[in-house]
Amino acid sequence: MKLSKQMKKFVIILSIILLLIFSVCALFELKTTKYEEKQEVYYAYQSKGSVDYTVFFRTNVMYDQSYMEKDRYYVFKYIDHVELKFKYQFKGSDPAQLKTNYLVKAYLQGLHGKENEVLWSKEYVLVPQQVEQEENTDRVIEITVPVTLDSYWALKETIFNDSEVNSPVVLNVFFDVRTLASTPKGTLEDKMSPNIIIPIGENVFKIEAAPEISGENSIAETIKVQMPVDMRKISIYFAISFIFLIMAVLLALFIKVAVPPDTFDRTMARIFKEYGERLAGMEQAISYQLANIVSVTSIEDMVKIADEVGQPVFYYKVNSPLERKIEFYVFDSGRVYYMVMFGEIKPAAESPIQVESGKDTRISM
């Protein structure tokens, strides 16, 4: 395989540049310390708050059982009381100083309008504020509060008789709980208020209990962690660099430089490009003594003569280390029009592929 001098030089330089680029990338990857950001969590917690209830009945002719579970329809007249069950769970990742305040409050509320805005409200404390404090990981609070509805119904009727405003009335019961978790790294606060709504005064009603409430939070810090060296990436960079090194060496040592065409080669190329369809090759040259030879000085004149006599232009070409020439002939009734062009003899090391004298080197179109 041979390349031109410029192409060989370009490929070698390109290989060296790519070799240096990938080598620098490998060294940069090896020497550069990389970090990634991570969240260092010192303390975290999760909490849940829920409300459950059971409706207990007076003796009546409608129900055989003495109570009903949640999510049913109830007859107000037969209700003895509603047992509310509040539960709060706090779970921390590590021991902390936990301080929990909680209470149960109820609001008897008269509603008005399409969006049930509160028209009037009466507050009741069902469970006074309690405080629990200790160092622990978890905290669980469970409270059972029986609620009798008769007194609230009586107040609702009193307000209606006095105001003559017949608005829907509900008993909205809240379980307010607040926990402070104190740690050496800081303090976190968890607050929630699960609630339950009981209609007052409706003959048949359904209780609305809030779904389970969840909470979470954490004390964390963003830190930079040193990443290990990516040896796989470095190995790939060095492998690619080695490939370009081998390529550059092979190009420099084993790929020969193609000799650029000289004047003779360029002239031949131009002749065959312009007149290839008019030329016919010969296997051997003819003797000068066999015919009446007329010398012609240019290929253009040879083509004109060939047109005039209606004959093709024959040629015989020799391109060897000892001789480089091309002879053109036009035959016309015992007369031969002849033109010869010689090329410079090249040193053996620069000679192109040898063409033996007498070989057919014609180009036919």
| pLDDT tens column, 313-329 | 999 988 887 888 889 99
What is the per-residue pLDDT for 361?
Answer: 38
Same domain, 75 and 144: yes
Please indicate, yes or no, whether the overall pTM of this predicted structure exceeds 0.85. Answer: no
Same domain, 176 and 269: no
Q: Is residue 360 part of a domain?
A: no
The DSSP result for 259-327, as a single string, is: PPP-HHHHHHHHHHHHHGGGEEE-SSPPPTTSSEEEE-S-HHHHHHHHHHHT-PEEEEEEESSS-EEEE
What is the per-residue pLDDT for 348?
Answer: 54
Please check the confidence at residue 358 and state whether its pLDDT lies above 70: no
What is the per-residue pLDDT for 131?
Answer: 95
Please check the confidence at residue 136 and state whether its pLDDT lies above 80: yes
For range 6-30, the mean pLDDT? 88
| pLDDT tens column, 157-183 | 999 999 999 889 999 999 999 999 999
Same domain, 193 and 110: yes
Q: Is residue 88 part of a domain?
A: yes
Same domain, 251 and 268: no
Residue 288: band (very low, low, confident or very high) from pLDDT cuts 50, 70, 90: low
| pLDDT tens column, 230-251 | 888 889 988 999 998 998 888 8
Which domain does 16 fall in, by range?
A: 2-33+227-257
What is the per-residue pLDDT for 360?
Answer: 40
Contacts of residue 99, defined as CB under 8 A and 6 or more positions apart, other chains included, come to 131, 132, 133, 179, 180, 182
Please check the confidence at residue 274 and state whether its pLDDT lies above 70: yes
Same domain, 27 and 87: no
